Each structure stands twice: as structure tokens, then as C-alpha cells.
Amino acid sequence: MANYGYVKIQVAQGKPLQKRIEAFASVLVACVQKALDERWRVVLADFDFDGPTWIVYLPGTATKNRREANRRLLAPDQDVGFTVSLQPRQIAFRHPMNMFERWAQGRVEEEIADHYGRGIFFDATERTQKPGTREYRRGTTFRHYLERNFDKPLSRADARFLNDRFKDHAPKGHW
């Protein structure tokens, strides 16, 4: 299934599922805090995707305006966020369509890959990104990440393009 990232992990034989869930949840929370910040929350979802699934989200970012949500490629009434699933022998990240959510998720993917010393396999390209890669963890904001694709110093036209196209995708404090 295309548009997923996977971090392959070794599973301790005979370790009860509940212990694996608890151990991974603490790793996930630590990686979210390190890659993003303390405003983000992690909750175990009431559904699974071939294993326990967590929702990583930024409280207070939901919009009731359907037109605004559609323009930002978000679901109405849902906070900005993404899912992470603990599947047998791998951690799965379903990549969201909203660029800000993808950036945030990419930062967490890289942090988890580093924690486990494993690469991230992308099924869309069938390539594996080595641990230690800092594609998404460059800079501290979504804007820093986007600016890496432009000549330095940033021209007024490029700055205007970034502001017009992406600024409203980034919740307060992340631009």
C-alpha cells in the first residue's frame, strides 16, 4: 500500500502484547516531545491498523469551517495530527496529505528510526532512508523546512509564495 513509511523492529519473543504496547508508547511520547514539542499529545486510538494505533495530535487546531478544512486538506472538527501503528515486526506511519502534518510526522519518523537504530522504508519509492537522516528535522519550524528548497537569501516572491500557500497550514508557533 503506497504512501506509508515503516521502521522495521525486532520483537522480543514471548513478550506479552500489553508490555510491548506500554514500552512503545513511552518511546513514542519521548520521540514526539523531542521532535516536536510539549504541546503535542499522544493517545491510543480506539481502532487499530494491523496492530495498536496511536493518534499524535496538536490540541486546539480543529476547525469547524468545512471550506477551510478542505482547503487545508484536513478533516473538519479534528485536530491536526497523524497516526502511528505498532504492527508485527514494524512501526507503520500512514502519510497524511496536509504538508504540515507530513512534516510533523516525518520529524517523529526520523526520531523513532534513530531510537531503534533502523532505517525508514518508504513503500512508494521502495527506498530505505538510513537512521540519522535529518530531512524533516532541519530547523525548528515548518517554514525552515520549506525554505530549504529555495535559494538563499529567500526572495520576496518566494517568501510571498510560502506565506500564501503554506502559512495557514501551520498552527500557531510552528511557522
Q: Parse the chain into domains and list their residue ranges.
A: 4-133
Kindly give, in sequence order, each residue whose CB lies less than 8 Å from that of residue 154, ignoring residues fewer than 6 positions away.
Answer: 147, 162
Q: What pLDDT is recorded for position 53?
A: 97
124: how many CB neighbours lie within 10 A of its CB? Answer: 11
Give the per-residue pLDDT at 38. 93
Nearest to 135 by CA among 118, 148, 154: 148
Q: Residue 1: its pLDDT value, please?
A: 54
Can you list the residues of the chain whose pLDDT is less than 70? 1-2, 12-13, 69-73
On the 0-12 / 13-18 / 19+ scale of CB atoms within 10 A, 16 is exposed
H/E stretch holding 123 reads: none
Cα of first residue to Cα of last residue in the chain, in angstroms, is: 31
- Overall pTM surpassing 0.95 (yes/no): no
How confident is the model at residue 119, as a pLDDT? 97
Rg (CA), the chain: 17
Question: Which pLDDT does position 18 carry in this prediction?
Answer: 87
pLDDT of res. 77: 82
Reduced to 3 states (helix: H, G, I; strand: E, B; else coil), residue 153 is coil
